[in-house]
Amino acid sequence: MIVRDEADSLPRALRSCQGVVDEVVVVDTGSRDATLEIAHRFGAVTRCVEWADDFAAARNHSLALARGEWILVLDADEELTPEARQRLPLLLDTAAAEGYMVQIVSPTDSERLLGAEQSAALRLFRNRPGHRFEGALHEQVAPSILRTNPQAILAGSEIQILHHGYQDAVRRAKGKHERNLRILQRMLAADRWDGFVHCNLGVEAVAAGRHADAALLFQTAIDLAPAEAGWRSRAVKYGAIVLGELGRWPEAQALLAAELPRYPRYTDLYYLNGLTLHRLGQHEGAANAFRQCEALGPAPCPPYNSVSPDLGGPKACCALGLVLEEQGRLAEAAQAYMRALQGTGASREPLEHLARLLERAGGREALREQVGAFADAQSPAAAMTLAGLFARIQRFDVALRCAESAQVRGHEGADAAQLVALCHYQSGRYKEALRACKRAAGATEDAAAVMALRCACLLHTGDTRAARAVFRGTKPPDFFTQLALLLRDEPPEQLGTYLQLLPDLGSLRAALAAESHSM
């Protein structure tokens, strides 16, 4: 590792590889916080070097200190996934390659468009004197390995590393943009025909919001890139994105049409092509592009870089559904949204699309039946997940149909009964809600919610005596908060009537005030 002022993130990185690696080497390039102290606490071998605006030089200092047979390179804002911790020793026990590509998974601030990104990087390789990094920024070790041994095998792997450093707030706090720009400008002055530098300058221009500059830089990178360069596909992807941001849709479409034959399994480009064709009014072409995404699934990484896995599933299905809706093909759109739900598990977007579409298509009864049929085709547990998601967006009629489907097919537990009770309550069926509350009474962790539901139902049915008895009995700590959630939307006169009927008003009034303030 090479680090500088990483006290906030370094413990997470080092904990993730404890028990997996035999030695930790940390080269510090000028920390003024507790970074070195933390490294020592984890037993790391440390060395301080002067920062010279050269990542390869700093990396090579760390390699010179390493004594193990294999090198794993990890940055302070990264961590090994739990699965990687299990797979890494097994991979090296049978290793036949000189090095392995790992997958770097980076949540980004552009999540609404493309989601988390996944890239391939050579981070696991044999420790040999000739294996050294090159390049002052976005340094690479593969060129030196292949020069030392042109027959060397650099294989793919399923090892994943989570990278937390791409969010804009992190980049600003670390001054990464200014540093990267300074280094890249120096590299460009040394070789103005380096397409890789142009590509990375384009990434920095995007981060700074200079999309017109970025479009020119990515096109230059594409023109200069060797055909086999792994980073070229990223330049094409980002080039298409910035052209879209600029509204230059015909140019984006021309770029994608020219490059798709070169990258036939790069799902991300098909997705961008679908967005572009849609903006150009070519709805059938857009629909076919999104279908192609679904058929391909997530792009393989490697050989492609900057892969957004959701584009081979949920996001493609949602985009297809929207195009089909515009064409008036509502049944097909509904099926696309349902496929998106199967892919995401807990995504709000396809639920909202589906709820809106099916209501528009046939009213509430049609909505319940169509979504219910979909829920029936899932496992009871999946149907309960759907029920909870629909309840979260306050589509209680649909949530009820899904929860009842789960119950009918053997889902046991007070969670289903509690959700059924809530759905009945929110739909004004208070007696049915009371019956469901009795079945949900065993959910001790949600006792406050069930008791609050029961009390609210009793108030609505006019059983004041029973409601007052609930108030006088022993109540869970969160009871008043849960009851306030149920009553806060009541008309003021009705709420005033209920308050006059109940004891212990101070606690309920305080909870109502808190809920009103939080809305």
Task: Render pLDDT for 331-349 as a digit per residue (tens, 0 to 9).
Answer: 899 889 988 887 654 467 8
| Residue 299, token pair as written in the block | 């792009």
Long-range contacts of 489-492 (CB under 8 A, 24+ apart): none
The pLDDT assigned to 239 comes to 97
Higher pLDDT, 460 or 76: 76
Q: How many CB atoms lie within 10 A of CB 19?
A: 8
pTM over the 0.75 mark: yes
The 10 Å CB-count burial string (b at 16+, else e) for 474-488 is ebbebbbbbbbbbbb
Q: How many residues are listed for the chain in this entry?
A: 519
Task: Tell me which DSSP letter residue 193 carries.
Answer: T
Q: Where are the alpha helices (DSSP H) in 348-441?
A: 348-376, 380-392, 396-408, 414-426, 430-440
The pLDDT assigned to 89 comes to 94
Q: How many CB atoms lie within 10 A of CB 465?
A: 9
Instruction: Delineate the domains of the chain, giving CATH numbers in brackets.
Output: 2-174 (3.90.550.10), 441-519 (no CATH)
pLDDT in tens, 261-301: 999 999 999 999 999 999 999 999 999 999 999 999 999 98
- CA-closest candidate to residue 372, choices 397, 348, 392, 349: 397
pLDDT in tens, 33-84: 999 999 999 999 999 999 999 999 999 999 999 999 999 999 999 999 999 9
